[in-house]
Structures are given as C-alpha cells and as structure tokens.
Amino acid sequence: MTLRPLGRTGLQIAPLVLGGNVFGWTADEKTSFALLDAFVDAGLNAIDTADVYSNWVPGHQGGESETIIGKWLKANPSKREKVMILTKVGMDMGGNRKGLSERWITHAAEDSLRRLQTDRIDLYQSHTPDADTADEESLRAYDRLIQSGKVRAIGASNYNMEQLTRALETSRRLGLPRYESLQPEYNLYHRADFDSGLRELAIREGIGVITYFSLASGFLTGKYRSTADLGKSPRGGGMLKYFNERGNRILAALDEVSARNNAEPAEVALAWLIACEGVTAPIASATNMDQLQSLIRAVQLSLPDDDLALLSEASAPELPQS
C-alpha cells in the first residue's frame, strides 16, 4: 500500500484513517479491539481520536475512546510501531477542561498519554480554534511537548483560512512548530469551505489534509433515502439537512458509479475523496467487521476519471440565482 507524507513531519500515512469516535460508544471494547486488529492487519496505519470522545453520551466524561485504544496498545505492544496515534485537545470536556491555553494543553497531553498508555502522540491536533488564547501561547506549549518527545507533530482541526494563515505566520515569525495537518469537514456534500481557498493554502504550504465526516455522518452510504430511514442509526436525526435536490443528485451519481464499479456507495464516496487533489486521507469509522472491510475496499478502489468527474459535477455546490 502506497503511503503518503503527512505535511513536512516525515510521517507516512496510509490513504485512509480509522475514526476512533465510535470506540466506547457504538463499538464496545471487544468489537473495537477486533476492528483495530483487522485495520492494522490490512496495512493501514493511522487511528484518529480525541480527548473529548465520547462525552456526549449520557454517563460518559470523555476519554472513553482513548482508553480503549490504550488498552488495545497494551495488549498488542508490537503494534505500537505499526500505527500512528492522532488525538486532539481543545473541545469542552466540562468544568475548566477546554481551550488551547498552555495550562490545558500541557495537562490534557498528560491525560491523553496516560489513557493511551503510550509515551508519545504522533499527531496532536488543536480540535477547534480558541478565541481566548493567542496562537503563540498554544504553539509554545506544543513546542515544549515536541522537545520533550511526547508529541511528534501538531495539526489543526476546524480552522478556517484566516485562522490557519495566522497560525502559520506566527510559527514562521517566532520559529515555533507549525501545524503540519488540517482536519476539515469535507465530503461529496460538504465541499464549499475546503474548496474556497483552504485546499490551495494546504497545497501551497505542504500541509497534510485529513478529512472528517467523510461519509457525511452516513448519508453517503446510501442507506438514508427518506425520513423513514432516520432510525437506522444514532446519527439518523442529522440526515434531514441532506434530503434535498442536491442530496438526491449526489446519491444518484453514487448509485451510477457504484453499479459501474461493483462497489458500495460508501466505498465510492471515500475513493473520490482519496483521489481529490490536496487530500492526504479521509477519516472513516466502522462499528462492525463488514463496515471495516468496506473501508479497506475503498482504499483499493481506483475510479476512472470519467466517474470522478461525474461525482464532482453532481456534488458541485448550488450556484446563486442571478
């Protein structure tokens, strides 16, 4: 499997990242271990999680996903060198546990390392911008973590063009580590933000791009066709925004390309992302082995140029009426 460089980090990443948001939520520990084993055995090598996963579940406090990954790493010590652990800091975990201050980044990193049962985080990402903390403070905290060997590289998630540009300029001006990756929401349906300058910025700066909600919370799997399908998963309620003319056009294109390539819609949607200029790897999660095998097939699927063009055309954002 061809690996791709992740920014200027020297890290090499497979063209699909396993999303760990489901671990400890819709995938229990036993299932999570099986998924992680199969993922690594397939030659894939990056797992994305966050300290806040999954504090939105009643009774959870955050850290559940990292804890399961840590237990898996402890049970499989030989696999630590085969995988890169990507985690994040900054989302509100309750109390004063949020943001990108030096205090919280330093504390949160130790918490994540403890839960993950590892001595280093391969990519530590600012989960969301913090308007109350200067970029310099955050970057200096990251610099100390990198110098100590606890973090190998840093990335940014949910940063817009202005925020990322400002952070990069701060890194250059002060000689501090820079964000080597960007994690934006990007998929066949949600294209406008990344396509409106962020892609060009990432390419120009040599920044890796790891997309989240790569399957639009499941809409691009094709299993949601009407409001009658909303009960098919815990995320079903978020599908209503996709039930429109453009959403139907995207599904129709996915169906057409899927039939031509003997593939599932989700596999086609991920293969389109993998082929997108400037995208290093999409993130996708699985809660059972059938879903994971589908993710692996997506990596192996090479769509013809005509099919890629059809998907891009069908998913083009609506133009304003003149």
The set of catalytic residues is 53
Backbone φ and ψ of 211, nearest 5°? -85, 145
CA 195, 206, 292, 20 dihedral sign is negative
Overall residue count recorded for the chain in this entry: 322
**Neighbour-count burial for 75-88, b at 16+ CB within 10 Å, e otherwise:** eeeeebeebbbbbb
Lookup result for tokens 């599932």: 264
311 vs 187: CA distance, rounded Å = 11
Residue 212, strand partner residues: 185
Amino acid at 222: G
Residue 223: HSE in the Cβ half-sphere, 13 Å Cα cutoff: 14
CB 106 within 8 A of CB 143: no
Lookup result for tokens 């095998």: 293
Cα dist from 309 to 129, 258, 279, 301, 312, whole Å? 34, 14, 16, 16, 5
Q: Are strands 4-5 and 12-13 parallel, antiparallel or unpaired?
A: antiparallel
90 vs 128: CA distance, rounded Å = 6
